[in-house]
Chain A
Amino acid sequence: MSVKLSDALLKSVEKPSRYTGNEWNSVIKDPKSVDIRFAFCFPDSYEVGMSHLGMKILYHLLNERNDCYCERVFAPWTDMEEKMRQNNIPLYGLESKDPIKDFDFVGFTLQYEMSFTNIINMLDLAGIPLTSDKRSDGDSFVCAGGPCAYNPEPLADIIDFFMMGEGEEIINEVMDAYAKWKGTGRTRQEFLEDIVKIEGIYVPAFYDVSYNEDGTIKSFVPKKPDYPVKIKKRIIKDMDKVYFPEKVIVPYTDIVHDRIMLEVFRGCTRGCRFCQAGFIYRPVREKSHKRLLELANKLEESSGYEEISLTSLSTSDYTELHELTTGLLEEMEEKKVNLSLPSLRIDSFSLDLMEKAQKVRKSGLTFAPEAGTQRLRDVINKGVTEEDLLNAVSLAFNGGWNGVKLYFMLGLPTETMEDVEGIADLAYKVVNAYKNVPREKKGKGLNVTVSTSSFVPKAFTPFQWEPQDSREVLNEKQMFLKSKIRSKQVTYNYHENRLSLLEAVFARGDRKTCKVLLKAWEMGCKFDSWGEHFKFDVWMKAFEDCGVDPYFYATRKRDYEELLPWDHIDIGVSKKYLISESKKALEGKVTPNCRVNCGGCGATIFDSGICGGN
Chain B
Amino acid sequence: MTIIRVKFRRGDEVKFISHLDLMKVFERAIRRARLPIAYSQGFNPHPGMVFGLPLGVGVTSEAEYGDFEITDDGMSPQEFADRLNLQLPKGIEVLSAKKKMSKQNIMATIAASEYVVIVGTPAECSQKALKTAIDKYLSQEEIVVKKKTKNGVKDTDIRGMIFDLNFELQPCENFNIIRFTALVSAGSKANLKPDLLIESLCGYLGFEYEIDRIHRTKLFVRSQDQLLDPMEEVV
Q: Determine the distance from Cα of A106 to Cα of B191 in the docked complex, in whole angstroms.
A: 48
Q: Given A252-B21, A306-B31, answer yes or no on A7-B213 (Cβ-Cβ < 8 Å).
A: yes
List the B side residues contacting A252 at CB < 8 Å: 14, 17, 21, 24-25
Interface of chain A, main secondary structure: loop
Asked whether A17 lies within 8 Å of B31 as measured between CB atoms, the reply is no
Name the residue of chain B whose CB is nearest to the CB of A7: B58
Asked whether A8 lies within 8 Å of B90 as measured between CB atoms, the reply is no
List the B side residues contacting A186 at CB < 8 Å: none
Asked whether A361 lies within 8 Å of B43 as measured between CB atoms, the reply is yes
Q: Given A22-B13, A304-B29, A306-B31, answer yes or no on A16-B21 (Cβ-Cβ < 8 Å).
A: no
Asked whether B89 lies within 8 Å of A24 as measured between CB atoms, the reply is yes
Asked whether B210 lies within 8 Å of A8 as measured between CB atoms, the reply is yes
Name the residue of chain B whose CB is nearest to the CB of A300: B31
Question: Which among B17, B28, B213 is the interface contact of A304 at CB below 8 angstroms?
Answer: B28
Q: Return A300 CB to nearest CB of chain B, in Å.
A: 8
Q: Given A7-B58, A10-B58, answer yes or no on A20-B89 (Cβ-Cβ < 8 Å).
A: no
Q: Given A7-B213, A8-B210, answer yes or no on A306-B27 (Cβ-Cβ < 8 Å).
A: yes
* Binary contact track A1-33/B, C-beta < 8 Å → 1, others 0: 000000110110000110010111000000000
Asked whether B30 lies within 8 Å of A304 as measured between CB atoms, the reply is yes
A residues 243-272 touching B (CB-CB < 8 Å): 250, 252-254
List the A side residues contacting B18 at CB < 8 Å: 17, 253
Asked whether B21 lies within 8 Å of A305 as measured between CB atoms, the reply is no
Asked whether A22 lies within 8 Å of B43 as measured between CB atoms, the reply is no
Q: Determine the distance from Cα of A17 to Cα of B29 in the docked complex, in whole angstroms.
A: 18
Q: Determine the distance from Cα of A361 to Cα of B43 in the docked complex, in whole angstroms.
A: 8
Q: Determine the distance from Cα of A305 to Cα of B39 in the docked complex, in whole angstroms.
A: 15
Chain B interface size, under 10 / 10 to 19 / 20 to 34 / 35 or more: 20 to 34
List the A side residues contacting B210 at CB < 8 Å: 8
Name the residue of chain B whose CB is nearest to the CB of A18: B16
Asked whether A303 lies within 8 Å of B28 as measured between CB atoms, the reply is yes
Q: Determine the distance from Cα of A301 to Cα of B86 in the docked complex, in whole angstroms.
A: 13
Question: Which among A23, A24, A302, A359 is the interface contact of B43 at CB below 8 angstroms?
Answer: A359
Q: Return B80 CB to nearest CB of chain A, in Å.
A: 16
List the B side residues contacting A223 at CB < 8 Å: none
List the A side residues contacting B223 at CB < 8 Å: none
Q: Return A15 CB to nearest CB of chain B, in Å.
A: 8
List the B side residues contacting A20 at CB < 8 Å: 13, 16
Q: Determine the distance from Cα of A252 to Cα of B17 in the docked complex, in whole angstroms.
A: 7
Residue A429 CB within 8 A of the other chain: no
Residue B176 CB within 8 A of the other chain: no
Q: Given A301-B32, A304-B31, answer yes or no on A22-B58 (Cβ-Cβ < 8 Å).
A: no
Give the most central of B16, B17, B29, B31: most A CB within 10 Å: B16
Asked whether A17 lies within 8 Å of B16 as measured between CB atoms, the reply is yes
List the A side residues contacting B87 at CB < 8 Å: 304
**Chain A interfacial residues counted at CB < 8 A:** 25
Name the residue of chain B whose CB is nearest to the CB of A253: B21
Q: Given A7-B213, A252-B21, A336-B45, answer yes or no on A16-B28 (Cβ-Cβ < 8 Å).
A: no
List the B side residues contacting A23 at CB < 8 Å: 89
Q: Determine the distance from Cα of A303 to Cα of B28 in the docked complex, in whole angstroms.
A: 7
Residue A596 CB within 8 A of the other chain: no
Q: Given A17-B17, A22-B90, A304-B27, answer yes or no on A360-B43 (Cβ-Cβ < 8 Å).
A: yes
Name the residue of chain B whose CB is nearest to the CB of A359: B43
Name the residue of chain B whose CB is nearest to the CB of A338: B44
Q: Determine the distance from Cα of A227 to Cα of B33 in the docked complex, in whole angstroms.
A: 54
Name the residue of chain A whose CB is nearest to the CB of B15: A7
Residue B144 CB within 8 A of the other chain: no
Q: Return A238 CB to nearest CB of chain B, in Å.
A: 30
Q: Return A73 CB to nearest CB of chain B, in Å.
A: 18
Q: Return A193 CB to nearest CB of chain B, in Å.
A: 43
List the B side residues contacting A301 at CB < 8 Å: 32
Q: Determine the distance from Cα of A22 to Cα of B15 in the docked complex, in whole angstroms.
A: 11
Asked whether A22 lies within 8 Å of B28 as measured between CB atoms, the reply is no
Asked whether A250 lies within 8 Å of B21 as measured between CB atoms, the reply is no
B residues 30-54 touching A (CB-CB < 8 Å): 30-32, 39, 43, 45
List the A side residues contacting B16 at CB < 8 Å: 10-11, 16-17, 20
Asked whether A16 lies within 8 Å of B32 as measured between CB atoms, the reply is no
List the B side residues contacting A302 at CB < 8 Å: 32
Residue B196 CB within 8 A of the other chain: no
Asked whether A11 lies within 8 Å of B57 as measured between CB atoms, the reply is yes
Asked whether B21 lies within 8 Å of A17 as measured between CB atoms, the reply is yes
* Binary contact track B77-101/A, C-beta < 8 Å → 1, others 0: 0000000000101110000000000
Q: Return A258 CB to nearest CB of chain B, in Å.
A: 9
Asked whether A336 lies within 8 Å of B39 as measured between CB atoms, the reply is yes
List the A side residues contacting B17 at CB < 8 Å: 17, 252-253
Name the residue of chain B whose CB is nearest to the CB of A11: B58
Q: Determine the distance from Cα of A305 to Cα of B24 in the docked complex, in whole angstroms.
A: 10
Given contacts A22-B90, A254-B21, A303-B28, 8 further A-B contacts (CB under 8 A): A10-B58, A17-B17, A17-B21, A22-B13, A22-B14, A252-B25, A304-B31, A306-B31
Q: Can you list 30 A-B pairs with a CB-CB distance of less than 8 A?
A: A7-B212, A10-B58, A16-B16, A16-B57, A17-B18, A20-B16, A22-B13, A22-B91, A23-B89, A24-B25, A24-B28, A252-B24, A252-B25, A253-B18, A253-B21, A301-B32, A302-B32, A303-B28, A303-B32, A304-B30, A304-B31, A305-B28, A305-B31, A306-B27, A306-B31, A335-B31, A336-B31, A336-B39, A360-B43, A361-B43
Query: Which residues of B pack against A, CB within 8 Å?
Result: 13-14, 16-18, 21, 24-25, 27-32, 39, 43, 45, 57-58, 87, 89-91, 210, 212-213
Query: Which residues of A pack against B, CB within 8 Å?
Result: 7-8, 10-11, 16-17, 20, 22-24, 250, 252-254, 301-306, 335-336, 359-361
